Homo-oligomer: A and B are copies of this chain.
Amino acid sequence: MSSKTKRFILPEDEIPEQWYNIQAEMVNKPMPLLHPATHKPLKAEDLYPIFNEACSDQELNQTDAWIPIPEEVRDMYKYYRSTPLVRAYGLEKALDTPAHIYFKNESVSPVGSHKLNSAIAQAYYCKQEGITNVTTETGAGQWGAAMSYAAKVFGLDLAVYMVKVSYQQKPYRRSIMQTFGAQVTASPSMSTRAGKDILTADPNCSGSLGCAISEAIELAQATPHCKYVLGSVLSHVSLHQTVIGLEAEKQMAMAGEYPDMVIACFGGGSNFGGVSFPFLRHKIDGTHTDTRFIAAEPSSCPKLTHGKFEYDFGDESGYTPLMPMYTLGHNFKPANIHAGGLRYHGAGTIVSQLLKDGLMEAADIPQLESFQAATLFAQAEGIIPAPESSHAIAATIREALKCKTEGKSKVILFNLSGHGLIDMTAYDMYLSGDLQNYTLTDEEIAKYLKDVDVLQ
């Protein structure tokens, strides 16, 4: 313990008024999205049938580095932002490390995760454009919970396809979405052609984000005044999440430090992009060239560390545009790990380009290491972390222990993207020794990667 400041919170008038669009400042821009049928580069208008127009425009905007946050969105942010930046003295003590560890605590958002930052924005834009119904997918349910509340705030009707394994593992998240007034269906379901096809081929299919996305898009297209909203992967979602890193930058300045490492867990990339892009801009502009950016992904779904950079679909049925991404193939079947939000086959286009260009790195974390890290963090800091966020904690611990070995007092910032209070079944299994690792062999990965290039 220390009598020094533990938490850094911004005054309300310091909450960012603009999101940061890293695409505008990247030297090598992400390659274009391609139309799934024609394979021609997409224009924003091509996305309008699926997404609201504002987000479609943001998706392809490679020109404007700063995008104003609408007043109504900022107004909603003020109910829970800024989230605290916390110096993790407890964890430092438990590890006996000279590293200075900070975490941005997004778990204190009303719905328990960072997902609300983009949910509010997407619901707002839909409402503005006269949309009355929205559909979406959710893995562990963090995005679904956030979107359910945001839809309620802006008076939209929401249908959520929840990945079946999470629907079963985390029934409380379904209840949360229903309490907010959303309609929730386990995916794959018989309510869509995509779901029927998948269930016909495999009646016991436990689902994937890729499959739930297909179902949600299909329902949106079959429903009047309805659009689809997505919780990660796409560039406009990462854009909305940069409010995290922009706040953290100011808060690190309050603490008088600048991170040597920025770490976040990685599913589709919006959480990682949200905390890291604002710091990455100083790597791009040459003011902080030494900062390392580490994406922590599960060993069971290792697209960044073991995937291939190719054009691939974002969903299982091939309804989305083709995206240039690190991927394990859109038919990849992730193991039933408890970090449901990280069970996705591909990475967003911005992050994929950054990784290709060596501006960031990735670490793959076995499930047991993530829960060991989670339990240590819980006992040291009092917060039960989400299984997803626990991957970032595990990567942080690896680096903090390296600092100890090397006697170096580096500054580590990680994003605690959400709490794990709905995931206690997984903790129970970990404590009783019933959890296992799912690590893919090189042969298994090679088998998946063989069919990745959908352009051939």
A-side residues, CB < 8 A to B, are 1-3, 5-7, 9, 12, 71-72, 75-76, 78-80, 86, 90, 108, 110-112, 116, 149, 152-153, 171-172, 175-176, 178-181, 375, 378-379, 381-384, 421-422, 424-425, 427-428, 431
Q: Which residue of B lies closest to A429 (CB)?
A: B175
Which residues from B are CB-within-8-Å of A112? 421
Which residues from B are CB-within-8-Å of A12? 5-7
Which residues from B are CB-within-8-Å of A384? 176, 179
Cα-based distance from A382 to B12 in the complex (angstroms)? 19
Cα-based distance from A2 to B105 in the complex (angstroms)? 25
Cα-based distance from A178 to B384 in the complex (angstroms)? 11
Known A176-B424, A179-B375, A424-B171; contact A381-B78, beta-carbon cutoff 8 A: no
Q: Which residue of B lies closest to A90 (CB)?
A: B153
Known A180-B378, A382-B111, A383-B110; contact A3-B172, beta-carbon cutoff 8 A: no
Choice from B2, B80, B152 contacting A379 with Cβ under 8 Å: B152
Known A12-B7, A381-B110, A382-B111; contact A176-B75, beta-carbon cutoff 8 A: no
Q: By the criterion CB–CB under 8 Å, are B79 and A86 in contact?
A: yes
Q: By the criterion CB–CB under 8 Å, are A149 and B431 in contact?
A: no
Q: By the criterion CB–CB under 8 Å, are A378 and B179 in contact?
A: yes
How far, in Å, is A66 (CB) from chain B's closest CB? Answer: 21
Which residues from B are CB-within-8-Å of A149? 378-379, 382
Which residues from B are CB-within-8-Å of A6? 12, 75, 78-79
| Most chain B beta-carbon neighbours within 10 Å: one of A2, A79, A172 | A79
How far, in Å, is A130 (CB) from chain B's closest CB? Answer: 19
Known A152-B379, A381-B110; contact A75-B421, beta-carbon cutoff 8 A: no
Q: By the criterion CB–CB under 8 Å, are B78 and A172 in contact?
A: no
Cα-based distance from A111 to B381 in the complex (angstroms)? 10
Which residues from B are CB-within-8-Å of A176? 384, 421, 424, 427
How far, in Å, is A123 (CB) from chain B's closest CB? Answer: 12
9 examples of A-B residue contacts, CB within 8 angstroms: A1-B76, A6-B12, A108-B108, A152-B379, A171-B428, A172-B422, A175-B428, A178-B427, A181-B379
Which residues from B are CB-within-8-Å of A1? 72, 75-76
How far, in Å, is A310 (CB) from chain B's closest CB? Answer: 39
Q: By the criterion CB–CB under 8 Å, are B379 and A424 in contact?
A: no
Choice from B79, B80, B172, B381 contacting A424 with Cβ under 8 Å: B172
| Most chain B beta-carbon neighbours within 10 Å: one of A76, A171, A384, A427 | A384
Cα-based distance from A205 to B169 in the complex (angstroms)? 30
Which residues from B are CB-within-8-Å of A180? 378-379, 382
Q: Which residue of B lies closest to A1 (CB)?
A: B75
Additional pairs, 10, CB under 8 Å, beyond known A7-B78, A110-B381, A175-B427:
A1-B76, A2-B75, A3-B71, A6-B79, A7-B79, A79-B382, A149-B378, A172-B425, A176-B384, A180-B379
Cα-based distance from A141 to B116 in the complex (angstroms)? 28
How far, in Å, is A157 (CB) from chain B's closest CB? Answer: 13
Choice from B111, B181, B379, B421 contacting A172 with Cβ under 8 Å: B421
Choice from B9, B86, B381, B422 contacting A9 with Cβ under 8 Å: B9
Q: Which residue of B lies closest to A11 (CB)?
A: B9
Cα-based distance from A353 to B165 in the complex (angstroms)? 54
Which residues from B are CB-within-8-Å of A171? 424, 428
**9 shortest interchain CB distances as A-B pairs:** A110-B382, A172-B424, A175-B424, A149-B382, A6-B78, A110-B383, A421-B421, A108-B108, A175-B428
Cα-based distance from A92 to B38 in the complex (angstroms)? 51
